């Protein structure tokens, strides 16, 4: 068996085709974890702007009014909600709670995530 890293094996890690619900949940957790980690580094860069003084930070604040930046903020909120609720499902099943209804838990938490994301989107874009 060839156990060497390759691009094909890497992308297979994220491939949803032919996976059951648990596999899809795991892929979702991977993607949101990577996104949130990248956001952490971006957030540190923004904090660096604050350290450079009010002028630099004021310029950044003007940038945050851009629709593209607002969409990015919504993506971060969505990733945090999805990752968090999926993580709660994993914790519950790790402790033997709801193991027989994992699929229903996943879909329930994803429905709850959708409601929360839509709520944040409405607050963010409509006032």
43-89 confidence digits (pLDDT tens): 888 888 778 877 877 877 888 888 888 899 999 999 999 999 999 99
Question: In the chain, where does DSSP find H-type helix?
Answer: 7-12, 21-51, 54-63, 67-94, 102-126
Residue 84 lies in a domain: yes
- Its sign, for the CA torsion 52, 53, 56, 61, is positive
CATH number at residue 106: 1.20.1300.10
Residue 17 lies in a domain: no
How many domains is the chain partitioned into structurally? 1
Q: Which residues constitute the domain of residue 26? A: 22-126
Q: Given a cut of 60, is residue 31 above it in pLDDT?
A: yes
Residue 55 lies in a domain: yes
């Amino acid at each position: 068996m060839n156990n060497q890293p390759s691009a094909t094996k890497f992308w297979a890690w994220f491939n949803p085709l032919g996976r059951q619900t648990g596999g899809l949940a795991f892929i979702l957790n991977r993607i949101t974890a990577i996104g949130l980690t990248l956001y952490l580094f971006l957030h540190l860069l923004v904090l660096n702007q604050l350290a450079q003084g009010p002028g630099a930070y004021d310029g950044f604040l003007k940038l945050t009014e851009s629709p593209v930046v607002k969409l990015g903020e919504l993506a971060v909120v969505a990733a945090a909600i999805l990752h968090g609720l999926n993580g709660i499902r994993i914790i519950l099943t790790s402790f033997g709670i709801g193991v027989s209804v994992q699929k229903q838990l996943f879909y329930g938490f994803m429905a709850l995530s959708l409601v929360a994301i839509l709520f944040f989107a409405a607050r963010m874009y409509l006032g």
